């Protein structure tokens, strides 16, 4: 009887541990949907509207609570312009002097009416080289000398021209003034009502709708991000990335520090 009871405890322990792994985010950035951010960018008519869409609960893009106050963090948007190229930086303030970048949308103009873009998660929050881009496929027929019965339809990924997205046309307009969010720590728009973060499994079920239209990028197509953005990147001391993983440092009112280690993976693509 004791042996059976011990075996039951082992099984329950294993089940509980697997349940915990499934409900926990492997990386902090898993609580912010890069696909959802691109969906909002495609939908927006301006960068101001884009920022608003990112911070609306029903759009299911943001589930971050990096400052651990049990409220969703407000996402700010800033454009860095370099000639015909742009880097749209998504960030959040963790304190009055601490700012953490979440992701960047790099946009490069490739012709008179053509442009490409990719969104990349910040290395403090995501596994290395997490890059997402719009998805589209071209179907081609592979013929055969043995007749039509041996033909095969092959789908190949295509590079999407985003020039006609309203938000892209907006930032390339002749009278465009570079957008920098006016909001910061303690000063947010009146319409914004922060909500409590969801469990990770619940959040995943909400943002999965965005994944159909975007895909992990097989290669880095937009180089302006590394060249222009890297010297201006914000990395908060409250989010510490080291070889052992990511540690989020929380300070309470008394000034005491609590470190919470978050598991990281070496996954290079998001599926």
Q: Could you report the per-residue pLDDT of 193-240, keeping only the tens digit for each?
A: 999 999 988 998 888 888 888 999 988 999 888 889 989 999 988 775
Average pLDDT over residues 11-40: 69
Distance, CA of 247 to CA of 238 (rounded, Å): 8
What is the arithmetic mean of pLDDT over 168-179?
Answer: 97
Whether pLDDT at 65 is above 80:
yes
User: pLDDT grade, residue 19 (50/70/90)?
Assistant: very low
pLDDT class for 157, splitting at 50, 70, 90? Answer: low
pLDDT above 80 for 140: no
Q: Quick one: how many helices (H) and strands (E) in the chain?
A: 6, 11
Residues 6+ apart with CB under 8 A from 190: none
> Is residue 184's pLDDT more than 60?
yes
Q: How far apart, in whole angstroms, are the C-alpha atoms of residue 173 and residue 213?
A: 26
Q: Are 220 and 131 in contact (CB under 8 A)?
A: yes
Mean pLDDT of the region 42-66: 97
- How far is it, in rounded angstroms, from Cα 121 to Cα 129? 8
Answer yes or no: is pLDDT of 8 > 60: no
- Tokens representing 189 are 């728009």
Q: Does the pLDDT value for residue 72 go beyond 80?
A: yes
Report which of 117, 116, 2, 122 is spatially closest to residue 66, judged by C-alpha positions: 122
Give the pLDDT of residue 238. Answer: 76
Identify the helix (H) or strand (E) that includes residue 51. Answer: helix 47-54
pLDDT > 90 in the chain, percent: 55
CA angle 73, 54, 112 (to 5 degrees): 135
This prediction has a pTM of: 0.76
Inform me whether the pLDDT recorded for 133 exceeds 60.
Answer: yes
Residue keyed to tokens 């990281």: 264
9 or 1: whose pLDDT is higher? 1
pLDDT band at 90 (very low <50, low <70, confident <90, very high): very high
CA 258-261-126 angle, to 5 degrees, is 125
Instruction: Tell me what percent of the chain is helix, strand and coil, each rounded to the nearest 5.
Output: 30, 30, 40
Q: Which of 22-31, 137-146, 257-266 has the highest mean pLDDT?
A: 22-31
Percent of the chain with pLDDT over 70: 71
Please tell me the predicted confidence (pLDDT) of residue 165: 98
| 247, β-bridge pairs | 240, 261
What average pLDDT is seen over the chain? Answer: 80
Does 101 or 237 have the greater pLDDT score?
Answer: 101
Q: Give 112's pLDDT tier (boundaries 50, 70, 90).
A: very high
């Amino acid at each position: 009887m004791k042996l059976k009871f011990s075996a039951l405890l082992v099984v329950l322990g294993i089940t509980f541990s697997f349940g915990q792994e499934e409900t926990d985010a492997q990386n902090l950035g898993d609580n912010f949907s890069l696909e959802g951010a691109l969906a909002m960018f495609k939908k927006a008519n301006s960068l101001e509207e884009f920022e608003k869409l990112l911070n609306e609960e029903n759009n299911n893009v943001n589930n971050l609570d990096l400052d651990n106050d049990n409220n969703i963090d407000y996402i700010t948007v800033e454009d860095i312009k370099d000639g015909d190229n742009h880097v749209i930086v998504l960030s959040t303030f963790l304190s009055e002097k601490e700012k953490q970048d979440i992701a960047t949308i790099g946009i490069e103009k490739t012709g008179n009416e053509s442009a490409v873009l990719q969104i990349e998660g910040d290395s403090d929050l995501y596994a290395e080289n997490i890059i997402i881009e719009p998805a589209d496929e071209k179907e081609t027929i592979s013929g055969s000398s043995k007749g039509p019965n041996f033909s095969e339809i092959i789908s190949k990924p295509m590079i999407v021209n985003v020039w006609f997205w309203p938000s892209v046309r907006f930032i390339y307009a002749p009278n465009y003034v570079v957008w920098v969010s006016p909001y910061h720590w303690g000063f947010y728009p009146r319409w914004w009502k922060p909500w409590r973060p969801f469990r990770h499994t619940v959040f995943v079920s909400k943002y999965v709708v965005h994944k159909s239209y975007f895909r992990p990028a097989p290669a880095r197509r937009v180089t302006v991000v590394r060249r222009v953005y890297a010297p201006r990147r914000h990395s908060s001391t409250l989010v510490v990335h080291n070889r052992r993983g990511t540690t989020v440092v929380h300070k309470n009112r008394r000034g005491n520090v609590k470190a919470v280690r978050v598991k990281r993976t070496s996954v290079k693509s998001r599926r």
